[in-house]
Chain A
Amino acid sequence: GENVEQHPSTLSVQEGDSAVIKCTYSDSASNYFPWYKQELGKGPQLIIDIRSNVGEKKDQRIAVTLNKTAKHFSLHITETQPEDSAVYFCAASRGATDSWGKLQFGAGTQVVVTP
């Protein structure tokens, strides 16, 4: 089955700096890669996702890149703000190629943005 590894487990950045979180996956058939943000005491919320037919996607200060050959994808947050402090999860799924597809999550990254 799919295995998703996420690094680093914790990330401390100064406000205004950039943050990068990296994930690798094992199943070459995976083609859907979402990122979720979990604030304290809440359930995870989708912040961005990418499908295997694109290499990069951007939404304001957030961007995700995908390298299918190397089987890794990354989340980039620019101009970090204190409200970016949260736990971030990457995930991978086979998507439409597998009608019984599961969503496999990484272990999470605790991001702390210090003013």
Chain B
Amino acid sequence: EAQVTQNPRYLITVTGKKLTVTCSQNMNHEYMSWYRQDPGLGLRQIYYSMNVEVTDKGDVPEGYKVSRKEKRNFPLILESPSPNQTSLYFCASSPTHVNEAFFGQGTRLTVV
């Protein structure tokens, strides 16, 4: 089954404790991206990757890091989480950025 898998689905952490949210896709897509969803603000792009080892900042990259060492995986790293990073996070993949994007189920992160 074609899918984008994020883990964990829910995470509560404390300020400053490094964390990684994993994202994996099994569709051999080149384009992957991370979004955060906040009430009234829609989906805002954090980082995106056009292919292996090719990443770029989206609209809200501050406080986040990504890596794309393999085509299927695109982890999101929060080196020192802060409460303003409490949000619902989505990973997505697509053949290119102008094709249908397939989203994961989301990761609800709370930073206290």
Contacts and interface: CB of A to CB of B under 8 A. Distances in A.
Same assembly: yes
Interface of A: 1, 6, 9, 32, 34, 36, 41-46, 49, 51, 89, 93, 95-96, 99-108
B59 A1 contact: yes
Interface of B: 4, 33, 35, 40-45, 48, 50, 56, 58-59, 90, 92, 97-98, 100-101, 103-106
Contact of A99 (B40, B50, B90, B105): B50
The 9 tightest CB contacts between A and B, nearest first, are A43-B103, A107-B42, A105-B43, A95-B98, A32-B98, A46-B100, A105-B42, A101-B97, A108-B42
A102 B50 contact: no
Q: Taking chain B's interface residues, is the majority helix, strand, or loop, or is none over half, making it mixed?
A: strand
Contacts of B41: 107
Contacts of A42: 105-106
B98 A102 contact: no
Given A6-B42, A107-B42, A102 B97 contact: yes
